[in-house]
A and B are shown apart, each in its own frame.
Chain A
């Protein structure tokens, strides 16, 4: 159960400005039923003063989504659109006395609906760029949105991004992508040095293989009660013998494969590991 503030509860149980304005001057629609929340904001705007005379909402979503929409309409009524556009999602959350961090995406949705409505009033249609990259397929979140919300709210972790935009909260396959975006956003960029692999002499290669097996592979096997011994190294062929628990281990083949992978990664990609 979520810990909602009194104000959230109040606006959820008795939401203000519910409904749809007939012949509205501006309409902002965001979200979808698939994603689990959606908001339709309709505004009546005085053409001369550009002041928002009336605002109404319809929301499909949880308690905090409903409360956010309700408070948003209260906040913008009486403001000019230039004043209204300055409202951030943090302002909306603050007005409610705070939102649980997992629910911050509701405040972002409110802010987006407002932006969409104002753009609609000004006759700006949001340019749909083909380049616009979807990062999160589950909730259809673009890279632009992630960057924007991250900068506005100074978000530095994937968890925060998920709380604010839902991105990464579904199947999770886009988490590495989000990490990259965050890294790109906040890190001081240093050009990566290309890795140059030196050709090893036979002696160096043998020493390196021994070193990796002693320091990285054996301790791990020993932790599971197993062990191994190097019998011989001929060129790229490493001959080992499994010892202790490894001898009868049904996973022996897998172990061997893992050792080979490790050596290929660190020493030479042509290495073959065999048991002697």
Chain B
């Protein structure tokens, strides 16, 4: 692995001198905070015992897990026993949906949105193939949910509604409180995938009417391979991973000690940072966004700028392709991501931007910058310095550079509309 990594750096860097990485892809994953790593190390070195053991050496760790649970709970103002540790956000999402489906076997309807993370979207599609009726709620051009369509979709057969807190690609925040209040009245289980929101914005489960919430460690400066699921007291629960008695029988498997400790420390840090961090990130993000829109023609922001995560911006540079932009940015050590087809690994561009009805010319050239507490203003300045030139150069290469395209309603993207019709039918 190490050899490969070096080769890559050699291939892609301009010179042999080490280049500083400028990391603006924090919605994909964040670095591990140094405080978090320090806290974890003893559990990787000396305290290797199994918390389920009878001897003190292992058994004492059980107390540590409970302390960790309390810290994670505290970030979202939950009770410790309402938290179970999982292996990742995806596991938390799958567990939540499966739990509701297993708990209400007579109910055969699931509601989610078209813009969910694949952890929810593909799991729901999987259940649709198993015979469940799934409603994928549409969003408008700014990525907002329509409450009326939502109201129409809810019925007595609905086992669970799973709607993300904030979108990973655009940062758009959904009205979880409003949706939850409607669902609470109708006594329908409500799960929210808050992987992108926890640690970035304040979340108080005592104020918000959902029954389950997923969070992931590596999006808030903890390591990969750990997540948590909040389950409100009184919610029917059925385990997804079945085996030993860990997590009071709600999630089997020997506890990932070090990572759980890491997650708890990360949650503690997030809580400390919550009062200042959003403002700092918003300042940086707005500077970046404003400058790029000013310096690059034919660029647009995707998503509702009124209700958005502070650290995320998704900008489309029309008529050029995202992978090409990313690799040119890579030359300067700048890391971002794109919704273009070439970067998705599936040949199809971002399902989120397609659901929003963004024209293809803009989807393929979409770039997401997602900031972390470790980013600085000088890093932002570097992007502002190099980006306009990259865009300009790629546009001179593009046959569409100068043309005005009407690609919104051509027979060529009939498939896109058929796609939506198909999802409605599901």
Which A residues contact B (CB, under 8 angstroms)? 1, 3-4, 6, 9, 12-13, 15, 18-19, 29, 32-40, 58-63, 65-66, 102, 137-140, 162, 166, 169-171, 250-251, 254
Picked from B11, B342, B396, B407, the residue with its CB within 8 Å of the CB of A34 is B407
Write the nearest CB–CB distance from A196 to chain B, whole angstroms.
34
Besides A35-B341, A166-B347, 18 new A-B residue pairs in contact (Cβ under 8 A), listed by A number: A1-B8, A9-B11, A12-B324, A18-B397, A19-B396, A29-B399, A32-B412, A33-B364, A33-B407, A34-B410, A58-B398, A60-B397, A62-B321, A62-B322, A63-B323, A137-B418, A170-B348, A254-B131
Give the residues in chain B near A254, CB-CB below 8 Å: 131
Picked from A1, A33, A58, A138, the residue with its CB within 8 Å of the CB of B415 is A138
Picked from B8, B319, B331, B412, the residue with its CB within 8 Å of the CB of A60 is B319
Query: What is the total of A-B residue contacts with beta carbons within 8 Å?
Result: 97
The answer to whether A61 touches B342 (Cβ under 8 A) is yes
The answer to whether A39 touches B106 (Cβ under 8 A) is no
The answer to whether B324 touches A36 (Cβ under 8 A) is no
- Tell me if B327 counts as interface (CB < 8 A to partner A): yes
Q: How far is the CA of A29 from the CA of B320 in the complex (A)?
A: 17
The answer to whether A36 touches B361 (Cβ under 8 A) is no
**Nearest-CB residue, chain B, relative to A12:** B327
The answer to whether B347 touches A169 (Cβ under 8 A) is yes
The answer to whether B106 touches A250 (Cβ under 8 A) is yes
- Interface hits, B63-77 → A, CB 8 Å: none
Q: How far is the CA of A166 from the CA of B331 in the complex (A)?
A: 28
**Nearest-CB residue, chain A, relative to B331:** A13
- Tell me if B360 counts as interface (CB < 8 A to partner A): yes
Picked from B348, B407, B419, the residue with its CB within 8 Å of the CB of A169 is B348
Write the nearest CB–CB distance from A262 to chain B, whole angstroms.
17
- Interface hits, B140-193 → A, CB 8 Å: none
- Tell me if B346 counts as interface (CB < 8 A to partner A): yes
The answer to whether B324 touches A63 (Cβ under 8 A) is yes
The answer to whether A61 touches B321 (Cβ under 8 A) is yes
Picked from B321, B328, B397, B412, the residue with its CB within 8 Å of the CB of A36 is B321
For B323, B360, B405, B414, the residue with the greatest tally of chain A CB atoms inside 10 Å of its CB is B323
Give the residues in chain B near A171, CB-CB below 8 Å: 348, 415, 419
- Fill in one digit per residue for B327-338: 1 if any A CB lies within 8 Å of its CB, else 0: 110010000000
Give the residues in chain B near A166, CB-CB below 8 Å: 347
Give the residues in chain A near B131, CB-CB below 8 Å: 254
The answer to whether A4 touches B11 (Cβ under 8 A) is yes
Q: How far is the CA of A250 from the CA of B341 in the complex (A)?
A: 42
Interface residues on B, range: 35 or more
The answer to whether B324 touches A66 (Cβ under 8 A) is yes
Write the nearest CB–CB distance from B406 to chain A, whole angstroms.
11
The answer to whether A9 touches B399 (Cβ under 8 A) is no
Give the residues in chain B near A18, CB-CB below 8 Å: 396-397
The answer to whether A62 touches B340 (Cβ under 8 A) is yes
- Fill in one digit per residue for B97-110: 1 if any A CB lies within 8 Å of its CB, else 0: 00000000110000
- Tell me if B57 counts as interface (CB < 8 A to partner A): no
- Tell me if B349 counts as interface (CB < 8 A to partner A): yes
The answer to whether A170 touches B347 (Cβ under 8 A) is yes
Give the residues in chain A near B401, CB-CB below 8 Å: 58
- Interface hits, B337-382 → A, CB 8 Å: 340-342, 345-349, 360-361, 364
Give the residues in chain B near A139, CB-CB below 8 Å: 347
Give the residues in chain A near B286, CB-CB below 8 Å: none
- Tell me if B48 counts as interface (CB < 8 A to partner A): no
Write the nearest CB–CB distance from B44 to chain A, whole angstroms.
28
**Nearest-CB residue, chain A, relative to B343:** A62
The answer to whether A9 touches B12 (Cβ under 8 A) is yes
- Interface hits, B43-69 → A, CB 8 Å: none
Write the nearest CB–CB distance from B24 to chain A, whole angstroms.
16
- Tell me if B38 counts as interface (CB < 8 A to partner A): no
- Tell me if B413 counts as interface (CB < 8 A to partner A): yes
The answer to whether A63 touches B415 (Cβ under 8 A) is no
The answer to whether A36 touches B349 (Cβ under 8 A) is yes
- Interface hits, B388-426 → A, CB 8 Å: 396-401, 405, 407, 410, 412-415, 418-419
Q: How far is the CA of A246 from the CA of B46 in the complex (A)?
A: 48
**Nearest-CB residue, chain A, relative to B364:** A36
Give the residues in chain A near B328, CB-CB below 8 Å: 13
For A6, A29, A171, the residue with the greatest tally of chain B CB atoms inside 10 Å of its CB is A171
**Nearest-CB residue, chain A, relative to B131:** A254
Q: How far is the CA of A251 from the CA of B396 in the complex (A)?
A: 60
Q: How far is the CA of A162 from the CA of B106 in the complex (A)?
A: 41
The answer to whether A60 touches B321 (Cβ under 8 A) is yes
Write the nearest CB–CB distance from B164 to chain A, whole angstroms.
23
Give the residues in chain A near B323, CB-CB below 8 Å: 62-63
Give the residues in chain B near A12, CB-CB below 8 Å: 324, 327
The answer to whether A36 touches B407 (Cβ under 8 A) is no
Picked from A29, A34, A162, A251, the residue with its CB within 8 Å of the CB of B360 is A34
- Would you list 20 pairs from A and B whose C-beta atoms are within 8 A, ordered by A residue? A1-B8, A4-B11, A18-B397, A33-B400, A34-B360, A34-B413, A36-B341, A40-B399, A58-B397, A58-B398, A58-B401, A59-B398, A61-B342, A62-B323, A62-B340, A62-B342, A138-B415, A169-B347, A170-B347, A171-B419
Write the nearest CB–CB distance from A74 to chain B, whole angstroms.
15
**Nearest-CB residue, chain A, relative to B396:** A18
Write the nearest CB–CB distance from B420 to chain A, whole angstroms.
12
Picked from B12, B349, B397, the residue with its CB within 8 Å of the CB of A15 is B397
The answer to whether B347 touches A60 (Cβ under 8 A) is no
Give the residues in chain B near A32, CB-CB below 8 Å: 412
In the A-B complex, list the 10 residue pairs whose CB atoms are closest, starting with the nearest: A169-B347, A62-B323, A62-B342, A58-B399, A36-B341, A250-B105, A40-B399, A60-B398, A34-B360, A63-B327
Q: How far is the CA of A162 from the CA of B347 in the complex (A)?
A: 9
